[in-house]
Amino acid sequence: MDYHLKPGEKEAMHSHPCGVFVYFFTDADVRSTTLSDGKTGELKTGEFHGRAGDVGWRDPVTHQGENIGNSELHALLIEPKTSCK
């Protein structure tokens, strides 16, 4: 998925399966709100600050991202089509 998030833009709460690979084309300043147990319950908020060229591997998550930086965030997300279970 070719992912773009404008400065100040907030995405809807959504879920990712296990094994999401992320490559950042731009620097990234993101506030992420995560459900504590992945589906319901307490909300936890954290910030991520990355650089263009950073790569990451994400465990399954239900979250909402917000671009708290001054420029558009651009990343490539690769998700498996089937569950990792």
Q: What's the CATH number for 2-78?
A: 2.60.120.10
pLDDT tops 80 at residue 75: yes
What digits encode the pLDDT tens for the residues 27-49? 999 998 887 655 555 677 889 89
Mean pLDDT of 10-23: 85
For residues 59-74, give the mean pLDDT: 91
Give the chain's mean pLDDT. Answer: 85
Structure tokens that stand for 65 in this block: 């991202």
The predicted model scores a pTM of 0.81
Residue 38's pLDDT is: 52
Are 56 and 48 in contact by the 8 Å Cβ rule? The answer is: no
Q: Where are the domains of the chain?
A: 2-78
With 90 as the cut, is the pLDDT of residue 4 above it?
Answer: yes
